[in-house]
Amino acid sequence: MVYLDWASTSPPDSEILAEAGRVATEFFGNPSSRHGPGSAARSKLEEARTRLAAAILGEAAASPATPRGRFAFTGGGTEADGIPLLSLLRAALGARRDGSVKRLHLVTTEIEHAAVYEEALLLKSLGIGVSFVGPEPDGRVDPRKIAAAVEKDSALVAVMAVNNETGAIQPLSEISKAVAAAAAAFGRSPPRLHVDAVQALGKVRFDPASAGAGSAAFSAHKLGGPRGIGALWAAASLETLSVGGGQEGSLRPGTESLQGAWAFAAAAAYARDSFARRADHARELETRLISGLSSIPGALALPLGRGPSDERYSPYILSAAFPGLSGEVLVRSLSDSGIAVSAGSACSSNSKRAGRRVMRAMGLPEDIALSSIRVSSGEGTTKADIDAFLEAASLAYRRLKA
Amino acid sequence: MEAFYLIKVGEILLKLGNRREFEERLRSQLQRRFASVGLAHKIEMYPGRFFVTVPEEQAADAEFLLSRTPGINGYARAIKAAKSVEAVLEAAVEVARGQMARGKRKFKAESRRSDKSFPLGSFELSARIGDAVLEALPESRVDLHHPEFTINAEIRERAYVFADAEPGLRGLPSGSGGKGLLLLSGGIDSPVAGYMMARRGLAIDALYFHAYPYTSQEARDKVERLARVLSTYTGGLDLWTAPFTETQLKIKRDAREDLTTLMMRAAMMQAAQFLAESIEANCIVTGESLGQVASQTAENLRFTQSVTDFPVLRPLAGMDKEDTIALAKGIGTFDISILPYEDCCVLFSPKHPLLRAKLERERAAYDRLALEPFLRESLSKAERVEIPLSLIARQAAAEVRP
């Protein structure tokens, strides 16, 4: 099996999972309990949090003496995105004593993962104003367009760090500066910037604080960790929509998963330590992939014009188009040849139109958008994997295209 | 306890010459259908009336089968009584009590007497029933013009008392019209066409063309689900799945682009001809509707059917799409048909398909493709799946009101 779908999920690191299992078994107490086993579990949980913070923010920023924001463990990346978005509802509904709804506005993009995009649509249906900003043909959003979408009552701007289909790295620092300037023009402080950093963690350099973010979402299973655990970093406290036992600084109530937290921290630490080595490897594979594609007549690397080692893109993710052959058909055919890739984001593959939302938003013509697939690599990917993909794709394309 | 049903046979009565044969066919259909779902039952047959007895706890299953068996005009849960006035009146009160438990009050009584030795005439018996019910159930009211229920008493070999009959499918018993081969796709139309012809007494086999990887395994599963629903009307069916990819590729390679859809349709028709011959079907059934899509103009239908000498029955030819959809909802296939698994056709059907085939010219083009070996090969690899009548569809089944 040639696995080239690491952006959907990565194979778990069995040592990390085993270690986390041992820790959770030994420290089984409920971290909220005020007895021995409880406080032992609590201190392990906090140890995991500190390790995670150190892995993502750096040692200095993670030090309890000079904390920069706080990490709350969540049930995954989607939940970590949902918490700040849904908090808008509480702000809108709870702002006025007379029960009237305060008008609030959200700025986001047309290329967000469903975790943000669908949530934004839900908010819109519930009365929150939402502006969707489209990307440029290179897959990146123009900070000026984000700034232009900011309104007087914009309370949140949500932009992802790395697009999950194109790998396009979004210019977050420029965006946060432009947003601040736009808000200043209204004589107010800037709206909070939420960053979906799920495809960034361990893959591209991303520091939420220096990017100007107020919150950021992370997930463990894209970098060797288990499913069901993510994290929300927040610079300041949030009025969340769901309440309960007040765990995780009230950001994510519910008994904490020490097993998940421990594994996530270990996976993130490993990702930090191996960052440069893996990045070099990914660039090498990306170069091989893009140049291989260029020798398949008709095939295109996306976004159009993307070449190897382009700093605008994550080297781990590449979309490619095979015009005249539907992406889903190619995915099935490759799967029969033992090669796993995806047609668009696996999370949106259920519905054909939504699955091509990002491609369409970049202004790609229908036949290119519908014929796109995503190839994503990881630490375990080899050159032979890339070559096997190129050969099988080339064969299938020649045989099956219209 | 037992549930006893009186069954009114339908059109059978009109066909006096074949009455015995048709009744026998309906009887054996009922026998087979009840047996295939493991329903213990007893069938009695008299001219114009059948009676089925099943265990009480299987009454719902029995009613499901009765409502879907072609050739049945209506059926009613009935009480068998001795041929005495007292027994009939007692049964009538029980029937009325059952109806009133469903909130109905206003009734009338109707009697038929084929046994003239019964002491009361029909009119008198109806009057006595009215009196008895009014006396036993003081809440009831006689209303001859707008009754909420009717108490029927039939004095035949025994006395039968029942309230209003549930409508059956009507039509003709399965198999009385021979066997048809249905071209079944995953769409809305073909299952409806199959249902309509099954109702006209055709036994049905279905043929599905599977063009993997253009069509997905999900699409195939969907066709099987449709066949399962259809089987509740046909009393089970054989679903043939023929691999069609090679034929499709050949057509794509060698046919003019604007003719590909047309050539594909003709190829399917010819494959159907070959299969129909080998399974001894006597007609081909399709869901085509005049003018619905480009391939379904009268000229194009003439061309596609020119490759077969079987009658091609198109029960939807004159139906409005909205009506077809309503029928599909009624028979329980619509929700399956609209599942989004048809992915390739839209993208790669010709942009400007030929609208008006010229028979000789297009036949010559078709013959030049020399598809017969491809079609024979496809059929030799076709898989046959026996889809037995099952009760799976019962829960989901919408009411059928054809």
Q: pLDDT tens digit string along A50-95? A: 999 999 998 776 666 666 889 999 999 999 999 999 999 888 887 6
Between A23-32, B215-224, B234-243, the lowest mean confidence (pLDDT) is in B215-224
Q: Which of A91, A279, A347, A400 is catalytic?
A: A347
CB within 8 Å of B157: residues ≥ 6 apart: B46, B115
User: Which residues of chain B have a CB within 8 Å of the CB of A332?
Assistant: 212-213, 216
* Distances B390 to B34, B62, B67, B70, B229 between C-alpha atoms, Å: 10, 12, 14, 16, 8
Q: Is the pLDDT of residue B343 over 80?
A: no
Of A171, A169, A189, A168, the residue nearest A180 (C-alpha)? A189
B213 in contact with chain A, both atoms CB, cutoff 8 A: yes
Q: Read off the tokens for B393.
A: 């569809």
DSSP assignment letter at B338: T
CA dihedral defined by B93, B95, B100, B101, rounded to 10 degrees? Answer: 120
pLDDT tens digits along A202-241: 999 999 988 999 999 999 999 999 999 999 999 988 888 8
B214 in contact with chain A, both atoms CB, cutoff 8 A: yes
Active site residue A347: yes
User: Which residues of chain B have a CB within 8 Å of the CB of A350?
Assistant: 340
User: Which residues of chain B have a CB within 8 Å of the CB of A324?
Assistant: 348
Burial class (CB in 10 A: 0-12, 13-18, 19+), B120: middle
Look over chain A and give the mean of its residue pLDDT values, rounded to a whole number: 93
pLDDT of residue A62: 63
| Terminal alpha carbon distance of chain A | 28
B48, HSE (Cβ side, Cα atoms, 13 Å): 7
Extended strands (E) in A235-321: 300-302, 317-321
Tell if the CB–CB gap between A326 and B343 is shorter than 8 Å.
yes
CA distance A273 to A277: 9
Q: How far is CA B299 from the centre of its chain?
A: 30
Considering only alpha carbons, which residue of chain B is nearest residue A370?
B347
Sheet holding A70-74, edge to edge: A70-74, A230-234, A215-219, A192-196, A154-158, A105-109, A129-133
CA distance A229 to A224: 12
pLDDT of residue A346: 45
- Cross-strand pairs, B204: B180
Of B327, B74, B97, B282, the residue nearest B190 (C-alpha)? B327
Tell if the CB–CB gap between A328 and B343 is shorter than 8 Å.
yes
pLDDT of residue A238: 87
Q: What is the 3-state secondary structure (H, E, C) of B121-169?
A: CHHHHHHHHHHHHHHHCCCCEECCCCCCEEEEEEECCCEEEECCCEEEE
Residue pair A331/A341 in contact by the 8 Å Cβ criterion: yes
Mean pLDDT computed over B301-315: 96
Residue pair A262/A229 in contact by the 8 Å Cβ criterion: no
Considering only alpha carbons, which residue of chain A is nearest residue B249?
A400
Instruction: Return residues 297-356 of B near A (CB < 8 Å).
Output: 340, 343-344, 347-348
Mean pLDDT computed over A351-361: 73
Q: Read off the tokens for B88.
A: 């009939």
Mean pLDDT computed over A260-283: 97
* Distances A329 to B8, B76, B347 between C-alpha atoms, Å: 51, 51, 11
Nearest to A352 among B213, B343, B348 (CB): B343
Between A13-17, A101-105, B253-257, the lowest mean confidence (pLDDT) is in A101-105
The residue with greater pLDDT, A350 or A359, is A359
User: What's the pLDDT band for B400 if we cut at 50, 70, 90?
Assistant: very low
Is the four-CA dihedral A319, A323, A328, A331 of positive or negative sign? Answer: negative
CA distance A356 to A350: 11
Considering only alpha carbons, which residue of chain A is nearest residue B245?
A400
**What are the DSSP calls for B230-269, one per residue?**
HHHHHTSEEEEEEE-HHHHHHHHHHS-GGGHHHHHHHHHH
User: What's the pLDDT band for B11 if we cut at 50, 70, 90?
Assistant: low
Q: Read off the tokens for A298.
A: 């008709």
CA distance B165 to B176: 25
Nearest to A333 among B213, B249, B340 (CB): B213
CB within 8 Å of A183: residues ≥ 6 apart: A150, A154, A189, A190, A191
B256 in contact with chain A, both atoms CB, cutoff 8 A: no
Tell if the CB–CB gap between B344 and A333 is shorter than 8 Å.
no
pLDDT of residue A47: 96
Assign residue A363 a region: left if phi > 0, alpha if psi is -120 to 50, beta otherwise? Answer: left
User: Which residues of chain A have a CB within 8 Å of the CB of B340?
Assistant: 350-352
Q: List phi, psi (to 5°) of A385.
A: -60, -45
Q: Residue holding tokens 């108490």?
A: B151
A329 in contact with chain B, both atoms CB, cutoff 8 A: yes
Mean pLDDT computed over B18-38: 89
Burial class (CB in 10 A: 0-12, 13-18, 19+), A221: buried
pLDDT tens digits along A300-346: 999 999 999 999 999 999 999 999 898 989 999 999 999 999 985 54
Considering only alpha carbons, which residue of chain B is nearest residue A326?
B344
DSSP assignment letter at A69: S
Mean pLDDT computed over B63-88: 94
Closest approach of A332 to chain B, Cα-based (Å): 6
pLDDT of residue A95: 66
pLDDT of residue A348: 44
pLDDT of residue A65: 61
Nearest to A402 among B212, B216, B252 (CB): B252
Rg (CA), chain B: 26
Mean pLDDT computed over B299-308: 95
Burial class (CB in 10 A: 0-12, 13-18, 19+), A45: buried
User: Which residues of chain B have a CB within 8 Å of the CB of A330?
Assistant: 213
pLDDT tens digits along A298-313: 999 999 999 999 999 9
Q: Read off the tokens for B179.
A: 């066997």
pLDDT tens digits along B114-146: 888 899 999 999 999 999 999 999 999 999 999
